Amino acid sequence: MVPAPWPGEHPTQSLDRPKLTAFVPVRDTPSMCTLERNPYYHAVDPEGNQLPYIDQLNMDRAADLAVYDAKLVGGSYDFAAFQARIIYYATYAEGAASSNARILLWPSGKSSEVMYNVNLNHPDPEWREVFADDRFRKALSLAINRDEINSVVYFDNASVNQLTATPTSRHYRPEYASAYTAYDVEGANALLDEMGLEWNDARTHRLWPVSKEPMIISWDLVETETPKGPVTELVEEYWKAVGIEIRWKSVTRNLLTQRVLANEEPMSLWHSGDTMDTLFLSRPFPFAPLDGDESTWGVLWGRWYNTRGEAGEEPPQEIKDLYQALDDYMITYDTEPGQVVLASQAEHIWTVGTVGMAPHPLFVRNTLKNVSESGGYWTWDTLWTYTEFPEQWFLA
């Protein structure tokens, strides 16, 4: 049994749609999706045996991460990886040792495991003006102790990284990866002072420039794929040290989607994908504002872009230039427009990255064979296991 990667229906799990995939769904309930091998699958192994080898997959839908972790540690799965987080590696390894299983570590292929956006389309003009100031986002970035995040959450296995392309990409430039990643509380405070964001008398909070209310940002997040909660607990303390308090809660993705698309979230987080050459800029939400639920930094601008001006809000010229570079890249696949996008991110810090290229844990039962020990990249860009041909896995 394996856990399902999505909490709801995904097109590959639909009972009613034709499939070219190795497995086809035959039963679907709120707690389990059962798939059987596709007898018409097109691929064979070198000896001429039709793939896949495994007859049936039972994909478990765990109620939440706590249930998922308990089932993984308890040995309920033959394979589990999608929601596994490196911070629980020791616990996973202990469970695997008592379950005739092992924990593999594949590279994640994410240039930023957790990244943050503030809402540049915020409905409150005062908040919007602060968020739109490059100095504010740069201060947020400088205030983050990435070395500590790497040590505490990733056991020094990740790399300090700004959001950019991954090191394997032809678009990668080291100066983009290091932009505003130095831990510099003094520099962060200097930028906020320069903006005129005064402290309150107790020096616990910065003040909004007009209302003079304490700078407290309440927002929601979804804990999925990477250790977003543990990282944000640390970031909360770093930003509090420069006078910015964040109050966050974990919600379902359905609720977050509604709030983001309604432009009700003042900030957001996600993990980077589409930063390898495979899918670079195909969904460029970390680098340019899009109309979607994975980033709040310019939903109304993204709506304007997606509808060619029929809806949303017209963005400033520098955002239009980003959109033009995206369009040029999709046509030419050339490095020049890609560099325009990455240079803009490094200059403006539209998205605040943290650490990247961390290993990702996979729980693998020892009876499941042919699973690559070192793996490919565990990321959306490779569709996780796709490049490792899981249709050739077998039980023995």
Domain ranges of the chain: 2-108+359-395, 115-356
Find residue 246's DSSP bridge partners: 217
Give 124's contacts (C-beta < 8 A, 6+ positions apart).
none
Angle between helices 125-132 and 134-142 (to 10 degrees): 60
The per-residue b/e assignment along 53-71, b for 16 or more CB within 10 angstroms, e otherwise, is: bbeebebbbbeebeebbeb
SS (H, E, C) the chain: CEECCCCCCCHHHCCCCCCCCCEEEEEECCCEEEEEECCCCCCECCCCCECCCCCEEEEECCCCHHHHHHHHHCCCCCEECCCCCHHHHHHHHHHHHCCCEEEEEEECCCCCCCEEEECCCCCCHHHHHHHHCHHHHHHHHHCCCHHHHHHHHHCCCCEECCCCCCCCCCCCCHHHHCCCCCCCHHHHHHHHHHCCCCECCCCCCEECCCCCCECEEEEEECCCCCCHHHHHHHHHHHHHCCCCEEEEEECCHHHHHHHHHCCCCCEEEECCCCCCCCCCCCCCCCCCCCCCCCCCCCHHHHHHHHCCCCCCCCCCHHHHHHHHHHHHHHHHCCHHHHHHHHHHHHHHCCCECCEECCEEEEEEECCEECCCCCCCCCCHHHCCCHHHCHHHCEEC
pLDDT of residue 380: 86
Number of C-beta neighbours around residue 365 at 10 A: 20
The model's pLDDT over 322-340, given as tens digits with 9 standing for 90+, comes to 999 999 999 999 999 999 9
pLDDT of residue 386: 85
pLDDT of residue 376: 84
Of 2.20.28.120, 3.40.50.720, 2.40.50.140, 3.10.105.10, the CATH number of 115-356 is: 3.10.105.10
The tokens describing 166, both together, are 């991954």
Of 3.40.50.1820, 3.40.50.150, 2.30.130.10, 3.40.190.10, the CATH number of 2-108+359-395 is: 3.40.190.10
| Predicted structure pTM score | 0.91
Cβ–Cβ < 8 Å for 35, 26? yes
User: Is the link from the previous residue into 107 a cis peptide, with omega within 30 of 0?
Assistant: no
Question: Alpha-carbon distance 309 to 214, whole Å?
Answer: 36
pLDDT of residue 7: 46
Cβ–Cβ < 8 Å for 83, 6? no
The model's pLDDT over 242-270, given as tens digits with 9 standing for 90+, comes to 999 999 999 999 999 999 999 999 999 99
The stretches in the chain having pLDDT less than 50 are 6-9
Question: Alpha-carbon distance 104 to 366, whole Å?
Answer: 11
For the chain, the maximum distance between any two Cα atoms, rounded to a whole number of angstroms, is: 77
Quickly tell me which residue has 């799990």 as its tokens: 13
The tokens describing 171, both together, are 């678009």
Give 273's contacts (C-beta < 8 A, 6+ positions apart).
110, 279, 283, 379, 380, 381
The amino acid at 279: L
State how far Cα 112 lies from the chain centre: 7
Question: Alpha-carbon distance 80 to 139, whole Å?
Answer: 38
The tokens describing 230, both together, are 């543990």
Query: What is the rounded radius of gyration, in angstroms, for the C-alpha atoms of the chain?
Result: 22
